[in-house]
Amino acid sequence: MIPESENFSKGRRALTNNFLDGANYVFKYSRSINDLVRIGEEYSEELLSEGDPFFTRNWADKEYSQSFIGGPRSEADKMPFSSDYIEEEELTNSIQAFNEILAEVDMGGAFKKAKLIATEKPTGIFDFGLASPGLYRKQEFFSKELKKDEPFLFADELPGIVPGLYVEKNAMGQFWYAMKDGKKYEMTKQQKGTEALKIKAPDAKLEYATSVKKVYVTFKREGGKANFVDLYVGVGGLGGMQSSGMLARALPVMLAARYFESMGIRTRINASRMYHNQGNIFNFCWTIKDFGADLDFKRIAVDTADTRWFRWNLWRYSSAIAIKEYDVANRGSGTTIYGGSYMASCRGRWRNWYFDQMKENKVPFVNLKPELMIFGGLENPPSEYRYEGPEGTVYKQIKEEFLKILDSVDFSFNKPQDAVRRIHQRMVVENGVSMDRFQDYVSNLLKRSYQFPTRGMYATPENEQVKMIDNYITRSADFGKYLQQLQ
């Protein structure tokens, strides 16, 4: 039962968020973009073969579908994902700017920087400096003729590629592969990844190896309870939103992940396609970077900020999933949710839904605090973004949202009074922010972390409400004590 003390009642009133409690919530989580593509293609084919009237009208009629995605799309644009981001130069400039922001950030010991150690296990970050003394190019063997005659000869290789184990070298230095029927193919020796790059396979790259053993660096595990942070970044945007604007929205989350990983905090990044349409709130999520995996900023940018992927296949797959799993006729588009009341409503219900899915073993289990499932990113991103330096408006917004994510985690991991002290030092002492703005910032930060719905789909159970209110009251009380010390 919910306690009836005055403080508890105030806490419950402050945190209760029943905005859109009558909406229908359509949620879907995929472990990776590959899983989303697989199920999306499967459902799409089934709906077309079944002659589903809604899906067929929207996705079999090319002229009609082109009309609502913004005009004709070339085959190159109809892509599930790519190894290249459409705004490559802007991504590079933005990542370089991370160093400027990180150099300015001083969290006053909130998080201890993790020690790096060298290891043989390829679970860390590949260090070219360690590897360079023994670095060499990995090889593959390719035959254009074999590719034409026997394209599916080796299931784990691209057509025309033969594993080196089956290739023989003659006295003339030529490489040959012999079929069981006696037919031979002359093979070309080339750097591994050459054929994949040639055919533009996803994530294609030239591959290297090293004779040096310890060439990976990873964070030293100090023992004790592991810390996890689960970050969500929005995908897509309204009609005028360009890829660079979507990238600007994602940058604070990318920056936070880089910071947390440097502190040894295990971080997951998920793409979140969240929008509303005709009384339905949709949130289709997939993991881009899992806990313990390396950060790949290009992969994150492609998944979350590439108009070619967003305004074609993601819409189609979302439409198919909504119809097949929820019996909701939707063509995958609607009003994108950036923040505000819509985000607050969906965020709390998504947390509850995900925890229910964990109990039923339908999604990966993570020993995670609900407040550390953080939906971040710019709430008002520009339609188009060009890196403008530290004095630029968008740059400042990116930094502010990044710090907001750090402050939320600081409150959860550390003593609340210490977290408040760090925020006060940064905002009031160092940057001259008014006390009123400082107090509003902390109050809103706590509400954002602990808000919950009590009515409608995926409402928070009473026992979980008690935990959230307890955490909120504790942190609010410590905030009040700190303010008294300042007087």
Residue-level pLDDT at 200:
83
Mean pLDDT of 321-350: 94
Beta bridge pairs of residue 187: 175
Lowest-pLDDT range of 48-52, 209-213, 350-354:
209-213
Q: How far apart are CA 183 and CA 345, in angstroms?
A: 66
Residue-level pLDDT at 221:
47
Residue-level pLDDT at 223:
42
Residue-level pLDDT at 206:
82
How confident is the model over 243-289, as pLDDT tens digits? 999 999 999 999 999 889 888 889 999 999 999 999 999 999 999 99
More confident residue, 375 or 95: 375
Residue 331 predicted with pLDDT over 90: no
Residue-level pLDDT at 68:
62
Residue-level pLDDT at 487:
75
Residue-level pLDDT at 60:
82
Tokens of 288: 């881009």
Mean pLDDT of all residues belonging to the chain? 86
Residue 132 predicted with pLDDT over 60: no
Residue-level pLDDT at 107:
63
Residue-level pLDDT at 171:
82
Residue-level pLDDT at 122:
47
Residue-level pLDDT at 32:
92
- Of the chain, the percentage scoring pLDDT greater than 90 comes to 59
Confidence label for 227 from pLDDT (cuts 50, 70 and 90): confident
Residue 71 predicted with pLDDT over 60: no
Residue 443 predicted with pLDDT over 70: yes
More confident residue, 188 or 80: 188
Residue 72 predicted with pLDDT over 80: no
Residue-level pLDDT at 356:
96
Predicted TM-score of the model (pTM): 0.76
Residue 468 predicted with pLDDT over 60: yes
Residue-level pLDDT at 127:
47
Residue-level pLDDT at 257:
92
Each residue of 385-396: b (16+ CB within 10 Å) or e?
bebeeeeeebbe
Mean pLDDT of 88-97: 80
Q: How far apart are CA 360 and CA 357, in angstroms?
A: 5
Lowest-pLDDT range of 77-81, 141-145, 399-403, 466-470:
77-81
Residue-level pLDDT at 232:
97
Residue-level pLDDT at 128:
46
Residue 237 predicted with pLDDT over 90: no
Mean pLDDT of 297-305: 90
- Of the chain, the percentage scoring pLDDT greater than 70 comes to 85
Confidence label for 224 from pLDDT (cuts 50, 70 and 90): very low
How confident is the model over 37-46, as pLDDT tens digits? 999 999 999 9
Residue 129 predicted with pLDDT over 60: no
Confidence label for 108 from pLDDT (cuts 50, 70 and 90): low
In what helix (H) or strand (E) does residue 468 lie, and over which residues does it extend? helix 462-486
How confident is the model over 391-417, as pLDDT tens digits? 889 989 999 999 999 999 999 999 999
Residue 20 predicted with pLDDT over 90: yes
Residue-level pLDDT at 124:
46
Residue 358 predicted with pLDDT over 50: yes
